[in-house]
């Protein structure tokens, strides 16, 4: 396998986070934008199908191995919503503030505010790889109505972590990377690649 992996994203934060763990293994991670790869459609109802579609798309257009992730927040009382629609829960254009407002409003009638962040990572060695490397992570918490903290993004200011008595937005970047769904999935992926 070529040691260059295309990240099926243009997110600089993800590139930095993933590179920190993959570089020591001898892999060079580059964003799909460096290869003029447009974003893939994400029409599927599950995280894994969307991540696999994004990885295959980037690999097909570059001829290289590709890594993709799909993640979101899932509220138990809402049968896992917003789930794969987390980034666009309140519609277009994407808005963290509107997404959070909608989630809080939809959870209001329920006593159960438990939720979890979920992430799946998919690495394909080539576009038709019949055995992609798959890693997942889950981070449990609760959704609170009042935003707390300045860090993170998305639902983090409303994602309460009872054992820590903090929201995800109140954690340092290092704490979040250690505890988060994405951090967990990335460590599983690294172990599989070793």
Q: Which residue among 23, 41, 69, 70 is the active-site one? A: 70
Nearest to 86 by CA among 154, 10, 139: 154
What is d(CA 137, CA 144) in angstroms, rounded to the nearest whole number?
22
70 has catalytic annotation: yes
Give the SS3 label for residue 159.
strand
The torsion defined by the Cα of 57, 15, 36 and 1, in degrees rounded to 10, comes to -60
Nearest to 50 by CA among 83, 73, 15, 97: 83
Give the catalytic positions in this structure. Answer: 70
């Amino acid at each position: 396998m070529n040691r260059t992996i295309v990240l099926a994203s243009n997110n600089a934060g993800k590139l930095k986070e993933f590179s920190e763990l993959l570089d020591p293994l001898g892999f060079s991670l580059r964003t799909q934008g460096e290869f003029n790869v447009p974003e893939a459609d994400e029409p599927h109802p599950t995280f894994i199908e969307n991540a696999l579609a994004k990885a295959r798309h980037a690999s097909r257009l570059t001829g290289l191995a590709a890594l993709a992730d799909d993640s979101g927040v899932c509220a138990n009382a809402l049968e896992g919503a917003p789930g794969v629609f987390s980034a666009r829960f309140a519609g277009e254009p994407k808005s963290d503030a509107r997404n959070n407002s909608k989630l809080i409003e939809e959870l209001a009638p329920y006593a159960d505010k438990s939720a979890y962040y979920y992430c799946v990572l998919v690495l394909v060695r080539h576009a038709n790889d019949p055995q992609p490397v798959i890693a997942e992570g889950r981070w449990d918490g609760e959704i609170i109505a009042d935003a707390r903290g300045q860090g993170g993004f998305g639902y983090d200011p409303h994602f309460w972590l009872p054992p820590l008595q903090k929201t995800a937005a109140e954690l340092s970047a290092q704490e979040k990377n250690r505890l988060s769904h994405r951090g967990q999935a990335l460590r599983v992926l690294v172990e599989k690649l070793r």
